Amino acid sequence: MPQAHPGPRAGLPRPRTRPSRRSLPGPAEDTGGTAAPAASAAASPARAPPLGSAAAGPEPPLSHCQEQTPGDGWPGPVRGHSGAAPGPGPSAESRVLPPGKAQQALQEWYRLGSLLGHGGFGSVLAATRLSDGAPVAIKRVLRDRIRHWGELPDGTSAPLEIVLLAKVSSGCTGIIQLLEWLELPDSFLLVLEHPERCQDLSGFLAERRFLPEEEARGLFCQVLEAARHCTSCGVLHRDTKPQNILLDLATGHMKLIDFGCGAFLQDTAYTQFAGTLSYSPPEWIHHQRYHGEAATIWSLGLLLYHLVMGKHPFRRSQEIIWGQILFPQWLSQECQDIIKRCLSMQPLDRPSLEELFCDPWVRGVPLP
């Protein structure tokens, strides 16, 4: 078991009996990434203004991967059963407590709150960490819904979502932080940071309809920084969309959430889809294959259009294939151009992440 990493969870009470509980290895132990951590989102070319004037509304149900199947929610106290469930994962080599003891131990660490969302993976609850009163979100991933497993730097087997979050959780403020994870007989619990006043971008845009270009630029640059950080760590998110971007309404900072559809970054084409079909690139619709960075750029183009227009540019898959995009006259030509480049029908015609950072509109530099 890895050593507990320094951070806000230090000093948590440790009952004599508890479910299998894992803290994440510190940044120095993670050797999976080959590049240096990306710069903080605070160093992005532009910053969104504080969003504190917006009212924090309820968060809509969280999305789930297209390849996943619907599952049950989290109707009440944490449930479990004696012994480890069959299949892969660390249960084969770790203690899994009977449900009563697991529930008792969990309640000694966290006070569970309201349901934040649910999907094919399971569900997400608001919670409070009892050691220091910090707000957190606890995501319950059902064991029988887990299709992909990975290995942490210390050799521990874990669901791939945990492995990917462990790789990207340090070095970038624009990525949701995985604080720790726990194993129960029928599921895994991911304890995630959760800003006290937050709202996902989809709900925020539903209230605001669309954002002025200056404000959209600030948020877009933060998402760009998060995407670059994931790439530098060898991780592909694969489901970048407004529902998976959490806004801290007090500061205007964003967090990329939900790595349940993520994968390790690879140079070769992906031939299995995971994510949201309405955000899939045309090469997937045409050829059932796509490359990681090109698909990421496509989703970023859709996101930027959604920010400045308040809606998805394509209502049907046929429109994605045709690639017809309409813009109002009041939208600057520079903003239109970057969206058109990101939404090029041919993957090779789309810019790279680094080229996007150099774009005059992103940098806020007016063209002569």
Q: Is the dihedral of CA 353, 358, 363, 366 positive or negative?
A: negative
Helix, strand, coil content of the chain in percent (nearest 5): 30, 20, 50
Q: What are phi and psi of 176, to 5 degrees?
A: -60, 140
Beta strands in the chain (DSSP E): 20-23, 110-119, 122-129, 135-142, 149-151, 157-159, 178-184, 187-193, 198-200, 235-236, 245-248, 254-256, 263-264
Token pair, residue 180, equals 């720790």
Nearest to 245 by CA among 59, 112, 70: 59
Report the C-alpha dihedral over residues 169, 184, 265, 7, rounded to 10 degrees: 10
In whole angstroms, give the CA distance from residue 6 to residue 94.
23
Catalytic residue among 186, 239, 258, 359: 239
CA distance 289 to 211: 33
Q: Which residues contact 80 (CB under 8 A, 6 or more apart)?
A: 19, 96, 97, 98, 99, 102, 103, 184, 185, 186, 187
For residue 239, indicate whether it is catalytic. yes
The residues carrying an active-site annotation are 239
